[in-house]
Structure 1
Amino acid sequence: MIIRAIKGLAKSIKNKKRTIIRSIVAVWLVLFIALLGGKAYQHLDQHESRGAIAVENGHFGESYPTPIYLDQGWDRSDSLWFYNTTQGSALLPYDFFLELELPAVESTEKLRDIATIDKYRYLPQDESFFNPDGLPLGFVKDTYKGDDYVGYTCAACHTGQVNYTDEKTNKRYAIRIDGGPAMADMVGFLMELEASMDATLKNTTKLDRFVDNVLKRNNGYSDRDDVIKDLEKWTLTMKQYNMVNESDVEYGYARLDAFGRIFNRVLQHVLNKEQAKRALLLAHDENGDRILTEAEVELVLKDITDPTVIGNEQFALVLRNLMSTEPGYPGLTKDELTILKDVFFNIPNAPVSYPFMWDITHSDYVQWNGLANNASVGPLGRNVGEVIGVFGILDWKAKDPGFSISAKLSGQSKNKPQIDFQSSIRHTNLRRLENQLKTLKSPEWPVEIFGELDEKKVKRGELIYAEYCQSCHEIIDRNNWDRIVIANMSNLDSVGTDRKMAENSVNYTGKSGNFKYTYQATDAGTIVLGEEAPVAALLTAATKGVVGTPEADKLFIRRWLDWLYNLASSFFENEIKASVKAGDYFPDTTGKPYDSLLAYKARSLNGIWATAPYLHNGSVPSLYDLLLPAKCDPENGVMECRPATFEVGSREFDKVKVGLKYEGYGGTVFDTSVEGNFNTGHEYAAGNTALPNGEELKPLNKQQRYDLLEFMKTL
């Protein structure tokens, strides 16, 4: 009897094991099939020109033919998949973007028409399999919780183009650069978007036309009132975003203070009602007079239903209440609003060039100041932070305490309540995009278009590069799969370039919300956050919370399987391992745990010819100008120096100076006398900046500068 029972138990265990094994095999088989299907799907778009189209009579009179591509390791389907893969960005309801008109009363032109897209230097695209509505490059349709949105992809900011006319044949070329820096004026475009929505609400004819066109699309809106209500909500949201991020430094083309704006989005969603109330009550003008009374503060905050997380929509209502002139409301002026804005947010006044993307997956540290360690799950966290900045929907809300991976990762394990970091951010796509970038190579100088290089100059320039550049900018083989690109850091005092971006990353603080009294790790040790905390710490904590939260728009089982797979892939497939930063930088200390960020990195210069303008803030228009001193000194014979002002916006390539045309066409004016725009520092070729080892170099003469440029074209 006992033996029979034991045998039965053994059989039962054996059957259960078999069932478990079969279940595991089935799950992994489904995942494997899904991966194969995803890989096949990735190659479905084979548009002949990768969607690129010619533009006639473009902005600044800059017409160009259908762009061509260089060999960067990607075929047509690779580029088109990168352009059109969603990452969870939700700038605007999709139908709104398709139907909005320009703000001028008499205009019926669509905001998305080629002329406006080209005006803001985004790249127009043809219709294709992944882009059936012919959206601009880097704009994509995404769906979240059943609603369609238009959002940004990585490609919007990280796809470049240069135009060139052969002087001998007069043949015109346009060259698309995958992973290259965009020329986009994102701020100008978003201001135009706000103006378009505002004008639509205020003009009956425009509004009627807009509502009719949206309803004809039959895509989720039931009636006129439904459309108008949503338009009012999104107009207020965009108005709020633009006001919060208003800067005293004009960005213009080819630049964005991405981190400043990411910081502000995090602060807006971390802020809780208690801290908001206290800050509003303490806000005062320059005379020391309070701006708001207690009664006004109560009215301003009356629409906040979640005291733990105010969030995007409720914050927009706070802004509306602050501006309201109804009885009892404060009806604040713009100056008074600016004072309140500065209580909660930081001015994003350190715009930088959009960085190029080749070699990013092979780099040990990324971002201009080496902020992001690229090892382990670092790339996933970095990309999550990026989507937070480009309008990912952050459905953060309070939840009761309990077992929570996101709470553990973000330091909230003991909090009551905790933040649930649900969002529209697509972790799986971010991982796939990162994998795609592993195969992207830098563009080589196209001799078939620009002409052959002078080998004698190249040989002379190679010697100069070895002496003046190579100690920081190592030479790498673009075809070496195992390459590791080392970020050689130079502290602000030694490199001498504009300090604003690096200093903001260290000095900016904000209200900590539910992260108050939480423990957060830094390279110098664990810190405890007070009510006013470093935004760098808040961004890291919030990013960890999002990384620890599975995608909301998937069924339960798939949601968690994908989450586990993404984390496992990040750990085991990432070839970059944790390492100490290279170079000369201030060490982090317990008193100053972020001081190592007061530096800028030097990376390899392969493909550098296609990435103008130069320096981290785009303050130098060409490589030739970069080899000059920042200031002229006629008394000492220094007659040639970097331009103090220049225009930005043209894509016309200057193959002699290696940069873009920068005068005489009406682009945005870059004034290097403004803090944040300084063009000083990195004057090695001018003999004004010593090498990291302290060696002082002689200034190069004109011939030597052109020899060095000739060699740099080969990188």
Structure 2
Amino acid sequence: MSRLIKSFLSFLCRHRRRVLALLVFVAAFMGITLTIGKIYQHWDKDPERGAIAMPEGGLGESFDTPVYLDQNWDESDSLWFYNTTQGSALLPYDFFIQLEQKDNTTLFRDNVNIDKYRYLPQKKTFFNPDALPVGFVKETYKGNSDTSKDYLGYTCAACHTGQVNYKGKAMRIDGGPAMANMVLFLEELEEAMFETLNNQDKFNRFSTAVIDLGNDYRKPEEVKEDLEKWSNTLRLYNIVNKSHIDYGYARLDAFGRIYNRVLEYVVGADQAKEMLTALTKADKKTPLISPKEADKVLEGCDPTIIGSDCFAKVIKRLQMPKSEGYPELGIKGLLRVRDGLFNEPDAPVSYPFLWDIAHSDYVQWNGLANNAPPGPLGRNAGEVIGVFGILDWTAKESGWSLPAYISGQKNKKIKVDFTSSIDLTNLQRLESHLRTLESPEWPDHLFPNDPSMQIDKALAWKGKLLYNEYCLSCHEVIDRTAWDRLVIAKMSSLESIQTDPAMADNSVTFKGYSSNFQHTYQSTDAGTVILEQKAPVVQILTSVTKGVVSTPDPDKNVIRRTLDWLYVMAMSFFDNDIKSSVKAGDYNPDTTANPYNSLLSYKARSLNGIWATGPFLHNGSVPTLYDLLLPKKMPGDPDLCENASGETEPCQYRPNEFVVGSRELDPKKVGFVSEGKQGTTFTTRRVGDFNTGHDYGARDIKSDDGEVILKALTKEERWALVEYMKML
């Protein structure tokens, strides 16, 4: 190694003028590129930021053209965030533009239908000429010959732009949690695609309309071939991610779905055959799939890594007739296959809000992601894997490569490369853009004549004193406008916080076949681990995101992609003030025996803007802030309680059932109105949906010897604390 370094230094000395000229050229090129990018970023200045009124909304709600609160973003900042691709590719773009709904001839992208899923309809603007909803964008990917076309993809804004309505007035919240029902959207999109495929009249209209666009398709046969391919791909995704937990509106098991998508692309045919032939029918004796059937199902798939297209073929073949040599599985059989290769994503959580994310030391609900460099880049690359980035990953014999080295494959004969549609340059720019976003303040100024929206300052002052006593130790108060603010995640172990454990448990316990990453080494805070044949998926995800971020964008020329990659790497380190640090809080530390122990916890953070982020708790199981300050009714809890006047009245407990989907603000309890509204019914009876825990102020908190160290709040104190939290 020392000889290599000496040779390199000698080369630099001999060619210092050329090296200096190259560095000057690179710096000039990057400077010009950055300047052009900044100018372009501000070209879309629509004063309404593309927002439109909805006289008849999808769930019976109507609202005027939304207004924006002061979050330190102007119209161009918002529109660039909404319409900047990150490399997601859900389906061909022309298909989404012309696809009809399943049961009628109205376009699937019709605004009323889009609003039904609680995505946010938009009008045409410069960056959005086809009036796509907030968070949907055209992604142009020039990959291999099969994947080179325009796609519809998700942007960050789809899950992280909110809206709050009050008496017909709508307020858009940049960086706020979406109310979206992504599962319903994807299931009904799949149904519409298959109906179009199987209904000749629908297909004729669809194929004609797609071809008339004059973009990626010229013949009906081409349309049909791709429609069948993408319909099956979406069906595969929906089958793999089917859950017994109804996510409903406003939440998603993003981690579970990212984990599954990684496993879908990493597993090899050899490991898949091993799993398929080990499955049994309900009697636990009779094989579900014979070795011959498994070979037939996996025919043509790479033994090391199945890759982008073969898995959809596998799912289709699993359902084909036994007379043709296939297993002919129904939905129950397919779910047994799912359980053998994947993990049920049964821990939905609320979409997190994004203000202060670039100022936070640890992110994700369980603090999985360290925000120190280059953490945000890997975190965002993992997110795009989950939201349909095209993964043109292949396995082949090759020499040394940086992605193979970084992902731990340096000693492997066969190496997986990580060509994909993931746009690292835009991911870096988006993360940097979020540094300027501020939390929204309570919008009392929009309703000067409405007493319900005015903050009771005297009551809020009492609430502030209570906040200091009950909340401040975990939820630090920060200056929302400070450019140098630092948000510290205070971690609480599952034992201490006692909220629903599913998300934290799954992040650690989910396992999958590691394929080519088997027996590779990986560093953790507790030491170096070796990936086993069935490894924790968090390890496999870490390996592949390292490979992705060390792979330059493939659909740019070699000079451009090299310079862009160098820019991304430099900016991920130098445009990030967060340093590596020890987690704060009360949690179980990582050990050599349990290297992911600290992930069995949940994060508390500053509550600025909390009024616009309901429902509450990490899994969205409590509808309002006032309800969060009530206890969960447990066995033995009384039905009648004594009030401050000494009178008996019904005790107050957190609701065990409420409707989610409405955007209507409850200004008193602070959250969204659920009574009398349309949406999905949230019930709190199962793991994944529990509304237990976080009892601070809800019950007496006692020491081990039974001494009360934090008393339960009275009703008056709860109202005072809620009033103060409006001001954060």
Taking structure 2 as the reference length, what is the TM-score of the superposition? 0.93
Q: CA deviation at 1:26?
A: 2.4
Partner of 1:168: none
- Offset at residue 59 of structure 1 (A): 2.3
Letter of the structure 2 residue corresponding to residue 610 of structure 1: A
| Partner in structure 1 of residue 711 of structure 2 | 698
| 1:291 to partner: Cα distance | 0.6
Mapped pair 1:707 → 2:706: no
Contact kept? 1:490, 1:692, Cα under 8 Å: no
Residue 655, structure 1, aligned to residue 672, structure 2: no
Q: Distance in 2 between matches of 1:622 and 1:607?
A: 14
Counterpart selection for 1:310 from 306, 311, 321: 306
Which one-letter code corresponds to 1:82 in the other structure? F
1:232 to 228, 233, 236: 228
- Residue 18 (structure 1) shift: 4.1
Question: Bigger shift: 126-135 or 280-289?
Answer: 280-289
CA contact (8 A) 2:621 2:691 kept: yes
Residue 63 of structure 1 corresponds to 62
Counterpart of 2:638, as a letter, is P
Root-mean-square deviation (CA, aligned residues, Å) is 1.7
Partner of 2:277, secondary structure, is helix
Tell me by how many angstroms 1:57 deviates: 1.4
C-alpha separation in 2, matches of 1:688 and 1:349:
32
Tell me how far apart the structure 2 counterparts of residues 635 and 546 of structure 1 sit (CA, whole Å).
56
Corresponding residue of 2:33: 34
Contact 2:308 2:393 in 1 (8 A): no
Partner of 1:116: 113
1:8-19 counterparts in 2 under 5 A? Answer: 17-19=16-18
Secondary structure at the residue paired with 2:441?
coil
Task: List aligned pairs for 1:237-252, cutoff 5 A.
Answer: 237-252=233-248
The CA distance in 1 between the partners of 2:702 and 2:660, in whole Å, is 30
Equivalent runs, 1:338-357 vs 2, <5 Å: 338-357=335-354
Q: Which runs of structure 2 are paired with 1:509-658 in the superposition (5 Å)?
A: 509-631=511-633, 633-635=637-639, 637=641, 639-658=651-670
Aligned partners of 1:30, 1:592: CA distance in 2, in Å?
47
Give the conservation status (yes or no) of the 8 Å contact 2:241–2:345: yes
Shift of 1:22: 3.1
**Residue 526 of structure 1 aligns to a residue in which SS?**
strand
SS of alignment partner, residue 308 of structure 1: coil
The 2-side partners of 1:435 and 1:512 are apart by: 33
Cα distance between partner residues in 1 of 2:691 and 2:704: 20
Q: CA shift at 1:21, angstroms?
A: 3.0
Counterpart contact for 2:30–2:567, Cα < 8 Å:
no
Deviation at 1:399, TM superposition (A): 2.5
Query: 1-side partners of 2:59 and 2:563: how far apart?
Result: 51
Could you tell me how far apart the structure 1 residues matched to 2:227 and 2:398 are?
Answer: 36
Q: Secondary structure at the match of 1:571?
A: helix
Q: Which residue of 2 aligns with 1:7?
A: none
C-alpha distance in structure 2 between counterparts of 1:572 and 1:455, whole Å: 43
1:410 has 2:410 as partner? no
Say which is worse superposed, 134-143 or 273-282, in terms of deviation: 273-282
- Please, which runs of 5 or more residues in structure 2 have no aligned partner? 1-11, 143-147, 448-452, 642-649
Between 1:382-391 and 1:279-288, the stretch displaced more is 279-288
Counterpart residue type for residue 353 of structure 1: S
Which digits, 9 at most, give the CA deviation of each residue in 1:202-261, with x for residues without a partner?
111000000000000111212110110000000000000000000000000000000000
TM-aligned CA deviation for residue 307 of structure 1:
2.0
Say whether the 8 Å CA contact 1:399–1:417 is kept in structure 2: yes
Which residue of the partner structure matches residue 647 of structure 2?
none
Report the Cα offset of residue 689 of structure 1.
4.8
Task: Find 1:181's aligned residue among 165, 169, 177.
Answer: 177
Quote the residue 1:670 is aligned against: 682
- The amino acid of 1:346's aligned partner reads N
- For the residue of structure 1 that corresponds to 2:532, the secondary structure is coil
CA distance in 1, matches of 2:571, 2:700: 46
2: distance between equivalents of 1:240 and 1:60? 29
- What one-letter code is carried by the residue in structure 2 that aligns with 1:435? S
Using the TM superposition, give the Cα deviation of residue 480 of structure 1 relative to its aligned residue in structure 2, in angstroms: 1.0
Report deviation, 1:691. Answer: 9.3
Distance 1:340 1:513 in 2: 17
Paired residues of 1:619 and 1:677 also in contact (CA < 8 A): yes
Letter in 2 for 1:342: D
Q: Distance in 1 between matches of 2:402 and 2:13?
A: 33
Deviations 1:260-292 (A, max 9, x none): 000000001110111011111111123222111
Alignment partner of 1:382: what SS? helix
Deviation of the 1:636 alpha carbon? 6.2
Alignment map for 1:204-603 (pairs within 5 Å): 204-288=200-284, 289-304=286-301, 306-325=302-321, 326-450=323-447, 451-603=453-605
Please show how residues 123-162 of structure 1 align to structure 2 within 5 Å: 123-145=120-142, 146-162=148-164
Aligned partners of 2:701 and 2:711 also within 8 Å: no
Q: Which runs of 5+ in 1 are unaligned?
A: 1-12, 166-171
- The amino acid that maps onto 1:499 is P
SS in 2 for 1:208: helix
| CA distance in structure 2 between the partners assigned to 1:161 and 1:346 by the alignment | 32
Distance 1:677 1:184, change over 3 A: same
Taking the aligned partners of 2:488 and 2:150, their CA distance within structure 1 comes to 41
Alpha-carbon spacing, 1:20–1:529, altered in 2? closer, same or farther (3 Å): closer
Per-residue CA deviation, residues 445-488 of structure 1 (Å, 9 max, x unaligned), is 11213543211111100110000000000000011111110000
Between the aligned partners of 2:640 and 2:266, the Cα distance in structure 1 is 55
Q: Quick one: structure 1 residues 15 and 516, their matched pair in 2 at CA, closer, same or farther if it must change by over 3 Å?
A: closer
TM-score (norm 1): 0.95
Contact 2:58 2:114 in 1 (8 A): no
Q: Is the 8 A contact 1:376 1:571 kept in 2?
A: yes
Kindly indicate whether the alpha-carbon contact (under 8 Å) linking 1:322 and 1:331 is maintained by their aligned counterparts in 2.
yes
What's 1:3 paired with? none
Q: 1:688 to 1:252 in 2, by over 3 A?
A: farther
Which range moved further: 444-453 or 497-506?
444-453
CA–CA distance in 2 between the matches of 1:31 and 1:561? 8
Instruction: Judge conservation of contact 1:494–1:689 (CA < 8 Å) in 2.
Output: no
| Aligned partner of residue 520 in structure 1, secondary structure | strand
Q: Distance in 2 between matches of 1:57 and 1:149?
A: 29
Tell me the equivalent position of 1:47: 46
Distance in 2 between residues matched to 1:617 and 1:563, nearest whole Å: 36
Residues 338-390 of structure 1: CA distance to partner in whole angstroms, max 9, x if unpaired? Answer: 11110000000000000000000000000000000000100000000000000
1:93 aligns to 2:92 (yes or no): yes
Compared CA separation, residues 15 and 374, structure 1 to 2 (3 A): closer
Do the aligned partners of residues 630 and 110 (structure 1) sit closer, same or farther apart at CA in structure 2, a change above 3 Å counting?
same
